Amino acid sequence: MKYKKYKIEEIKKNIAELAEGMGQLTIMEVCGTHTTNIRKYGIQELLPDNIRLISGPGCPVCVTPQKDIAAAISIADQDDVIFTCFGDMMRVPCGDTSLYSLYERGKDIRIITSPMDALRIAQDNPGRQVVYFGIGFETTAPLTAALIESADEWGVQNLSVLCAHKTIPQAIMQLLKSGSNIDALMCPGHVASIIGADAFSFVANELMLPAAVAGFEAYDIMAALLCIVRMLRKGERKCVNMYPRAVTEYGNREALSLLYKVFEPCDTLWRGLGEIKGSGLRLKERYRKFDAAHKFVLHLDDIREAEGCLCARILCGKSIPTDCVNFGRGCTPDRPMGACMVSSEGSCAAYYRYGGEK
């Protein structure tokens, strides 16, 4: 522990020396776990004043649009449905309703820790329809693919998936090409462990920005920042894998093979970013019978955002949580107005729990 502390002090010193006289530098992280741990470990406090860290669209709960939340609520509210999801989705508001409010009214909504839990529930309740709310990026989508493949092989007919899975590279491309004032990118280690570090090479090759794939401990994040600042100082434009203990050049081929056996790319909506071509995943025709959006009649009447909520701007890096007049007042983790305050990986939740700017 003392060794790591010493090393972090050395990294801090090196970053400050490299950044001196460079003007304002804005580095975006695109992973909810990075966002949380940057606040948790006080990383911003260790950096010189001319380096600013901002969050991007890296929280899967946060980027799930109101339309998908409304679809989940519509299905969960129907008779004879057992709706399953991860815990963070329960409290995302959609108008005056949430999955949690339906649960309080007696609807059968169950928190699960693995998609395969939904398969077990379906097998235990053959007379009811079981729906799994599939959200997340390339990290979790293969697990949903495994669920669907297993249900197909075992002939389970009362299981379906409401799919809101998304893929990260297309969102990064659209965001950074839209005129954002981002100088460099910290790439998500979890996603890179599946799709590979090479999948982010476009940041350097096409967008001409330095990038580093980073791990999640304080040392990992600081080391990646040092790498990025050094590239900025030298004028280099590369994508460097700073998380080799978990990330390879081409990722997890077995997981990717399963993912694209079940899913195919499609256009999809992102909260804050709008529709992004090829950034969604939908079930292939062979597995369409497991698509809850086709199986159920959806009622999507109330899909408005909370008035004054800045989640959309925060996810684009245009605002920070403390810019919002509702932050910590009308919007808290106990009474969230937007998704960024709900998820444990959301920017607003991280700011609320660990503090805001310097």
String of b and e for 132-142 (b: at least 16 CB within 10 Å)?
bbbbbbbbbbb
Q: Is 162 exposed, middle or buried (0-12, 13-18, 19+ CB in 10 A)?
A: buried
Below-50 pLDDT ranges, the chain? 1-3
Per-residue confidence (pLDDT) for residue 2, from 0 to 100: 46
Supply the pLDDT for residue 302.
61
Q: Say what the pTM is.
A: 0.93
Using CA atoms, how far apart are residues 38 and 215, in angstroms rounded to an integer? Answer: 12
Task: Tell me if 11 is assigned to some domain.
Answer: no
Tokens describing residue 212: 């580093």
For CA atoms 243, 248, 249, 250, the dihedral sign is negative
pLDDT of residue 95: 85
Q: Contact 227/174 with Cβ under 8 angstroms?
A: no
Domain-embedded: residue 183: no
pLDDT in tens, 187-223: 999 999 999 999 999 999 999 999 999 999 999 999 9
Domain CATH for 266: 3.40.50.11740
Number of domains in the chain: 1
Q: Provide the domain limits for residue 93.
A: 61-167+251-295
Question: What SS3 class is residue 96?
Answer: coil
In a domain, 196, yes or no: no
> Can you give the pLDDT at residue 357?
57
Q: Tell how strand 239-241 and strand 211-214 pair up.
A: parallel
The reply to whether 17 falls in a domain is no
pLDDT at residue 128, rounded to an integer: 97
Looking at residue 15, what is its pLDDT?
A: 97
